Amino acid sequence: MSILINKNTKLLVQGITGRDGQFHAKRMKAYGTNVVAGVSPGKGGEQIDGIPVFNSVAEAVKATGADTSVIFVPANFAADAILEASYGGIKLVIAISEGVPVQDMIKVTPILKKNGTKLIGPNCPGLITPEESLIGILPGMIFKKGNIGLISRSGTLTYEVVNQLTLSDMGQTTCVGIGGDPIAGLYYIDLLEMYENDPETKAIVLIGEIGGDAEEQAAQYIAEKMTKPVVAFIAGQTAPPGKRMGHAGAIISSGSGTAEEKIAAFAKAGVPVAKEPAEIPRLLQEKLAFATR
Amino acid sequence: MSILINKNTKLLVQGITGRDGQFHAKRMKAYGTNVVAGVSPGKGGEQIDGIPVFNSVAEAVKATGADTSVIFVPANFAADAILEASYGGIKLVIAISEGVPVQDMIKVTPILKKNGTKLIGPNCPGLITPEESLIGILPGMIFKKGNIGLISRSGTLTYEVVNQLTLSDMGQTTCVGIGGDPIAGLYYIDLLEMYENDPETKAIVLIGEIGGDAEEQAAQYIAEKMTKPVVAFIAGQTAPPGKRMGHAGAIISSGSGTAEEKIAAFAKAGVPVAKEPAEIPRLLQEKLAFATR
Amino acid sequence: MKIHEYQARELFRQYGIPVPEDVLCHTIEEVEQAARKLNRMVVVKAQVHAGGRGKAGGVKLARTIDDAIAAGKKILGMDIKGYTVEKVLVADAVEIDKEFYVGLINDRNTKSVTLMASSEGGVEIEEVAKNSPEKIIKLSIDPLVGLLDFQARDIAMQLFGNMQHVRQAVPILKKLYKLYVETDSSLAEINPLVLTPDGQVYAIDGKMNFDDNALFRQPQILALREPDEDEKKEIAANEKGLSYIKLDGDIGCMVNGAGLAMATIDMIKLYGGSPANFLDIGGSSNPQKVIDAMTILLGDSNVKAVMINIFGGITRCDDVARGLISALNVIKTDIPIVVRLSGTNAEEGLTLLKQAGLPTVGSMSEAARQAIELSKAYVQK
Amino acid sequence: MKIHEYQARELFRQYGIPVPEDVLCHTIEEVEQAARKLNRMVVVKAQVHAGGRGKAGGVKLARTIDDAIAAGKKILGMDIKGYTVEKVLVADAVEIDKEFYVGLINDRNTKSVTLMASSEGGVEIEEVAKNSPEKIIKLSIDPLVGLLDFQARDIAMQLFGNMQHVRQAVPILKKLYKLYVETDSSLAEINPLVLTPDGQVYAIDGKMNFDDNALFRQPQILALREPDEDEKKEIAANEKGLSYIKLDGDIGCMVNGAGLAMATIDMIKLYGGSPANFLDIGGSSNPQKVIDAMTILLGDSNVKAVMINIFGGITRCDDVARGLISALNVIKTDIPIVVRLSGTNAEEGLTLLKQAGLPTVGSMSEAARQAIELSKAYVQK
């Protein structure tokens, strides 16, 4: 088992004829992801690495039964691509595109809700159910099938952590990069709930960042609803206040969203917080040993 | 029994301090309608005929438990008043206001759907469950409790027909004036379904008009879904094509929406169409006699 | 409210929809100047509020300035379905490779704005709908979301099948929708939308109607109104809160409510009479309205009898009675009047009328029968 | 992106929000002229991108022209939290009866724009939130519906409690929301919104931030940008696709991804080092970016060692290696560099680096440890 995607997931790649879309479509396919179609308006009928290209999502879904879509189009077209996927009948959309205007995402959110479409991202690395399906730009070779679930606001930091897990022989059920934008799709709590309900997942790693209060909310949710152990890491513990560090998410302002507050919230919820990524496997082992005692 | 409203309906009057709002609030109360509150921004704390006035729908609902609202505000404020009622928790809104811009109603429609609010009107005379609750501008004295349901796009024509029914000793369960605007709330089919499910209603009178194809759709619905007898009347049988007769609804254009087409649709559905209002009671009696034979 | 083609084209331009150059002309001299200014093949088009002007000879292609002058002479002043042509549009006649239809309309069934598009442009969309409905693409637009890029692109792709043309058509569709919503339109058509041999997309002819109920917040649109004589009367009535449409019979009717007014006309015809008008005094209780209504009614020289049919809801019968009595004090007339009052404050109204010596009847059908008889009697005088 | 108060007031005016008259001044002469022109009580306000300018003495009330000149002399050129005041706003000082706060902000939790309002205006809203949260009214605005009249009225009613003031405040709230959405704002505050003794409502001070991701479609807003020196560097980096923030340590970092970059800085501090910057080269595989990034890094004279930490996903490690080799061919430096590459095409990248004789390490923590050691060694030279 896994969450959100597995080997039956039929993936559509929006923006498949662009530089990144093409590169990652091939990589996803090489990983074993069931990439059934690509979309690029005006390029319908072409093929990319054997993947048929369609003019629209609706056509692609009709012809291939695609149920999940990954978006590689430029930021200013990303919101429209997400909506095209949603109206086209796609149930899970992963938006890799970086730099999408916040007002676009604010407008997209209630439409997706109405249409019953789940979104991951934008500005996210995607997700993976190791050895079954990789969607996005994650480096597949560092992941390994196993029992750890992982949720992260970061991209490369996720790889760093996963690498540590895999080196410690702790494989993963599904790893999800939810992205660092202020307005994003599925968030910690949505995914924690899914992991809690996934019989294969034994423990969860949550990688947070300074900014916002999503980690605090997650901590509360864990305390109230989760039976499975969770270990956390917070990036930006030494970041100077008022500075925006790359992610729109990573901004500290006016005494909220600091690493201290987040760490305190996790401590209160009984969630250990690692000082550095390399510490995570040990904390997980301790938690799991305790849980199975 | 009845549909939509009964003696337990708690009514709020939006625009209660205006000329029409005040006049009809008093009349409704005099009829026996449970008028619990009025709304008029800035007039909170006043009273109209013993009815407490509030600044907002939210306040009124909180204080009185109003579940239904009737709107007497000027056309350019009507859409906002409808939305205020809907967001304020009102489940049934009756908009009497005439001349509401169509684009306003188009925008209002999906919001009401999302909020689960039913709308009657705008540009309608309201509805009545005789001897229990009168909402709107209907002349209460012509109605009588009984077993006939009535739906009408018209206002005064409805009174004409009801008058004939009452004079023929055929009382009514609930009579609903749905209004003549091109974009309106509850329509024939919604109400036909309610009457079909109301044990007290034995037969239904449907009063249509030229313009649009709502009558044709109703005819098809009756043929497919209704077990109770329906009798129809269509106004505008002799109207010249291309002319707009008062109602936005009453326009015939380009070979659709004519009285002939509507009458033919009803004939096909086995629904007798009266030549003049006075014929309706006889047609109903025939249908009811046939149904109970 | 309707506007002329030249006005629609001007609105299109304001919203950035590409339209070939044109000049509005009222005289032959202006036509000549326009043809000289454009200095290429032009089309001379009658500007009247009537359909089928092409078949009626109201549209002519002119390859030379002399041709244009000749076309102007033929079209200016001609009669199209009862409308006299007072102005023509002299427009750059772009070469046409293909013609398309795009239109927006308020859709009663979906309760939203529907976009219609067809590769069968240049003919009436109703004909396409009748003969080859499969050639009409329809899209119901979510009013809270608007026309999305991908939706416009899908439709443009179905029409043009070529991204170079699609890239031009998508903004045209989006701008047309913006224009439609921002001006409270009830119909906006580009027909034809054309593709030229060199791959340019243009709006050639435009038709727009507007929601009368929204004109209060559309001063720019209201300023475009050019009513004909009949419409002027209707507008004047409207400004007094009345809905008036002249018909060609001899029984004047004054009714409250559009449905009852239509049913009244139907009944007069059913009983063998002929109504002179549709006149709805609406739903408020203002005696002045009745005075205004009677003034309009009795101003029609065809009227031989008046039938007043009031069923009071929001309208109070006593107000109607008072207005009627005041009106007849001002307008002295020998035309017979039959009054029927029911509903709110009917008793009071009937009492007032009786005191004033006006004949009243008990039902609508009685009123219709009497009015017909009286109209015949009046003619015999 | 932030703008100054005077720019926010100008945007307010454009959208029809009432703001007292003002003049922007760069010199004492301009202050004098402005005071003469306004010819009544004015307020002289420092225009700097720093909070707490009032407490720092950057805002002064002036009853006479001489007062205004004196205030201008004091404020122009003063230092507020490291910012030199280069301009002041001389504004009509309306009399104030009550002060309110209204603000709009993107809300991560509701995923919508939230309207905040408070009868405690003129102070920082964060203080109100801390000390009397019950005095903040919050409304989450449905982005598909917008701020509705009744919602604006309810809030205005709670603030003002008087319909005459509510009627002025409702359009202010609606216009502020329109401004917010149309300019892709991420914060828009009127603080204070004031009520004068004669019952007029005015926006006095305004603060607006904008979404950097949307500036591509906001040329009017982009034109308002007035970055300071540090920001100019950050913007220059941004234009090259880099995210750069100068810090005050001595270990330059080049990392891909904001999270990993933050974790890298955290780790350097955890191990006792001091990072010279945050530098995220982002997610695309362009060798030029690495060259640009190294140029910026090595342009900081504090840097004593460089730690490169790349975990390749969309970034290809071989591209980074190539960019690094090219950069070091151009920028000759003796500053020690430690490189860690993992992920996509790491093998190829490491091979390239080894061929070029650059030191590589196996893990992030190893890289941090080595960089700290090397920085100390470099200092000792």
pLDDT in tens, D225-237: 988 776 787 788 8
- The percentage of residues in chain D with a pLDDT greater than 70, rounded to a whole number, is 98
Q: Which of the residue ranges A73-82, A254-263, B68-77, D236-245 would you say has the lowest mean pLDDT?
A: A254-263
Q: Quick check: C256 contacting B, CB < 8 Å? A: yes
Query: Where does a domain end: C205, C222, C239?
Result: C222
Mean per-residue pLDDT for C185-200? Answer: 96
Residue A24 falls in the annotated catalytic set: no
- Which residues in chain B have Cβ-Cβ distances shorter than 8 Å to C282? 98, 246
pLDDT, position D55: 85
- What's the gap in Å between the CA of C149 and the closest CA on chain A? 6
pLDDT, position A254: 41
A254 contacts D126? CB cut-off 8 A: yes
pLDDT, position D83: 85
- What's the gap in Å between the CA of C60 and the closest CA on chain A? 38
Closest residue in chain B to residue C212, using alpha carbons only: B101
pLDDT, position B246: 54
The C-alpha angle D274, D276, D282, rounded to 5 degrees, equals 120
Q: Quick check: D158 contacting A, CB < 8 Å? A: no
The C-alpha angle A48, A53, A58, rounded to 5 degrees, equals 155
- Which residues in chain D have Cβ-Cβ distances shorter than 8 Å to C145? 144
Largest CA distance in chain A: 60
pLDDT, position B291: 66
**D216/D251 same-domain check:** no
Please indicate whether residue A12 or residue B256 has the higher confidence score (pLDDT): A12
Is C11 within a domain?
no
Question: pLDDT tens, D318-355?
Answer: 988 998 898 888 888 889 999 999 988 899 999 999 99
Distance CA(C254)–CA(C291), nearest Å, equals 11
Between A and D, how many CB-CB pairs are < 8 A?
A: 175
pLDDT, position A255: 45
Query: Where does a domain end: C92, C110, C132?
Result: C92
Closest residue in chain B to residue C285, using alpha carbons only: B20
Q: Which CATH number covers residue D27?
A: 3.30.1490.20
pLDDT, position B232: 97
Q: Which CATH number covers residue C363?
A: 3.40.50.261
Question: pLDDT tens, C305-350?
Answer: 999 999 987 788 998 899 889 888 888 888 999 999 998 889 999 9
pLDDT, position C152: 98
Bridge partners (DSSP) of residue C91 are C22, C43
Q: Which CATH number covers residue D154?
A: 3.30.470.20
Of D145, D150, D163, the CB nearest to B56: D150
Which partners does chain A have (≥3 C-beta pairs < 8 Å)? C, D
D157 contacts B56? CB cut-off 8 A: yes
Catalytic-labelled residue, pool A247, A251, A261, A284: A247
- What's the gap in Å between the CA of D330 and the closest CA on chain A? 27
**D142/D44 same-domain check:** no
- What's the gap in Å between the CA of C356 and the closest CA on chain B? 25
**D204/D177 same-domain check:** yes
Distance CA(B72)–CA(B81), nearest Å, equals 9
Closest residue in chain B to residue C129, using alpha carbons only: B254
pLDDT, position D227: 81
- What's the gap in Å between the CA of D114 and the closest CA on chain C? 19
Q: Is the peptide bond before D192 cis (omega within 30 degrees of 0)?
A: yes
pLDDT, position A249: 44
- The CA distances from residue B37 to B12, B20, B80, B86, D307, in Å, are 5, 16, 18, 16, 71
Question: pLDDT tens, A30-70?
Answer: 999 999 999 999 999 999 999 999 999 999 999 999 999 99
Q: Quick check: C178 contacting B, CB < 8 Å? A: no
**D58/D114 same-domain check:** no
- What's the gap in Å between the CA of A292 and the closest CA on chain C? 51
Q: Quick check: D145 contacting C, CB < 8 Å? A: yes
Q: Quick check: C163 contacting A, CB < 8 Å? A: yes
pLDDT along chain B (293 residues), means of 10: 94 95 95 98 95 97 98 96 98 95 97 97 95 94 95 92 94 95 94 97 95 90 96 89 56 63 94 95 90 61
Mean per-residue pLDDT for C271-275? Answer: 95
pLDDT surpasses 70 at D378: yes
Q: What is the dihedral of CA A194, A195, A199, A202, to 10 degrees?
A: -170
**D106/D80 same-domain check:** no
Question: pLDDT tens, C55-107?
Answer: 888 999 999 999 999 999 999 999 988 888 999 999 999 999 999 999 999 99
Q: Where are the alpha helices (DSSP H) in B119-207?
A: 156-167, 188-197
Distance CA(C76)–CA(C59), nearest Å, equals 11
Distance CA(D368)–CA(D260), nearest Å, equals 13
DSSP string covering C70-91: HHHHHHTT-EETTEE---EEEE
Taking a C-beta distance cutoff of 8 angstroms, is the pair D205, D124 a contact? no
Is C7 within a domain?
no
**D269/D361 same-domain check:** yes
Residue C325 tokens, joined: 């009595």
pLDDT surpasses 90 at D208: yes
- The percentage of residues in chain C with a pLDDT greater than 90, rounded to a whole number, is 68
* pTM assigned to the model: 0.91
The contacts of residue D19 (CB under 8 Å, 6+ apart) are D9, D12, D13, D202, D203, D204, D206
Is C46 within a domain?
yes
D266 contacts A246? CB cut-off 8 A: no
Is D279 within a domain?
yes
pLDDT surpasses 70 at A144: yes
**C147/C266 same-domain check:** no
**C140/C164 same-domain check:** yes
D344 contacts A213? CB cut-off 8 A: no
Residue D313 is classified by DSSP as S
Catalytic site residues of B? Answer: 247
Q: Quick check: C163 contacting B, CB < 8 Å? A: no
pLDDT, position C374: 93
- Which residues in chain B have Cβ-Cβ distances shorter than 8 Å to D154? 55-56, 58
Q: Is the four-CA dihedral A279, A281, A284, A286 of positive or negative sign? A: negative
pLDDT, position B247: 52
**Residue C109: closest CA among B264, B4, B221, B115:** B221
Distance CA(A253)–CA(A265), nearest Å, equals 18
Tell me chain A's radius of gyration from C-alpha atoms: 19
- Mean residue pLDDT across chain D: 91
**D64/D121 same-domain check:** no
Task: Give the number of domains in chain C.
Answer: 3
Query: Binning pLDDT at 50, 70 and 90, where does residue C129 land?
Result: confident
- What's the gap in Å between the CA of C162 and the closest CA on chain B? 33
Which partners does chain B have (≥3 C-beta pairs < 8 Å)? C, D
D214 contacts A245? CB cut-off 8 A: no
**C143/C268 same-domain check:** no
Of A75, A110, A247, the CB nearest to D258: A247
Q: Report the side by side order of strands in the sheet with A118-120.
A: A47-48, A51-54, A35-39, A11-14, A68-71, A92-95, A118-120
**D256/D124 same-domain check:** no
- Mean residue pLDDT across chain C: 91
Pairing of strands A203-209, A230-235: parallel
Residue D339 tokens, joined: 């490189």
Beta strands in C135-213 (DSSP E): 136-141, 185-195, 201-203, 206-210
pLDDT, position A91: 97
Please indicate whether residue B159 or residue D128 has the higher confidence score (pLDDT): B159
Residues of A with CB under 8 A from a CB of C: 41-42, 55-58, 77, 80-81, 83-84, 87, 107, 111
- Which residues in chain C have Cβ-Cβ distances shorter than 8 Å to A107? 145
SS3 state at D262: helix
- The CA distances from residue C24 to C5, C14, C29, C32, C48, in Å, are 10, 16, 12, 11, 13
pLDDT surpasses 60 at A174: yes
**Residue C304: closest CA among C234, C243, C231, C370:** C370
Catalytic-labelled residue, pool D5, D6, D99, D101: D101
C143 contacts B109? CB cut-off 8 A: yes
Mean per-residue pLDDT for C254-280? Answer: 93
Query: What domain range is C63 assigned to?
Result: 19-92
C259 contacts B156? CB cut-off 8 A: yes
C150 contacts A56? CB cut-off 8 A: yes
Query: Where does a domain end: C222, C243, C276?
Result: C222
Question: pLDDT tens, D32-83?
Answer: 999 999 988 999 999 988 777 888 889 999 999 999 999 999 999 999 888 8
Please indicate whether residue C24 or residue A257 has the higher confidence score (pLDDT): C24
- What's the gap in Å between the CA of D102 and the closest CA on chain B? 21
Give the mutation candidate from D141, D150, D165 for the B interface (greatest B CB count, under 10 A).
Answer: D150
Of C262, C267, C313, the CB nearest to B137: C313
**C72/C122 same-domain check:** no
Closest residue in chain C to residue B127, using alpha carbons only: C313
Give the mutation candidate from A28, A160, A210 for the D interface (greatest D CB count, under 10 A).
Answer: A160
Q: Quick check: C181 contacting D, CB < 8 Å? A: no
Give the mutation candidate from C108, C131, C309, C348 for the B interface (greatest B CB count, under 10 A).
Answer: C108
C108 contacts B101? CB cut-off 8 A: no
- What's the gap in Å between the CA of C163 and the closest CA on chain A? 5
Residue D161 tokens, joined: 């409690």
Between A and C, how many CB-CB pairs are < 8 A?
A: 31
Which partners does chain C have (≥3 C-beta pairs < 8 Å)? A, B, D
Is D3 within a domain?
no
pLDDT, position C231: 75
- Which residues in chain D have Cβ-Cβ distances shorter than 8 Å to A155? 257, 259-260, 283, 313
Q: At what angle do helices B57-64 and B75-87 cross, to 10 degrees?
A: 40
- Which residues in chain C have Cβ-Cβ distances shorter than 8 Å to B250? 258-259, 262
Distance CA(C341)–CA(C353), nearest Å, equals 10
Please indicate whether residue D236 or residue A255 has the higher confidence score (pLDDT): D236
pLDDT, position D267: 96
Catalytic-labelled residue, pool C6, C99, C101, C177: C101
Is D14 within a domain?
no
- Which residues in chain D have Cβ-Cβ distances shorter than 8 Å to C141? none
Mean per-residue pLDDT for C134-159? Answer: 96
Q: Quick check: C144 contacting D, CB < 8 Å? A: yes
pLDDT, position A246: 52
Q: Quick check: C145 contacting D, CB < 8 Å? A: yes
- The CA distances from residue A140 to A172, B68, C151, in Å, are 12, 58, 35
Is C4 within a domain?
no
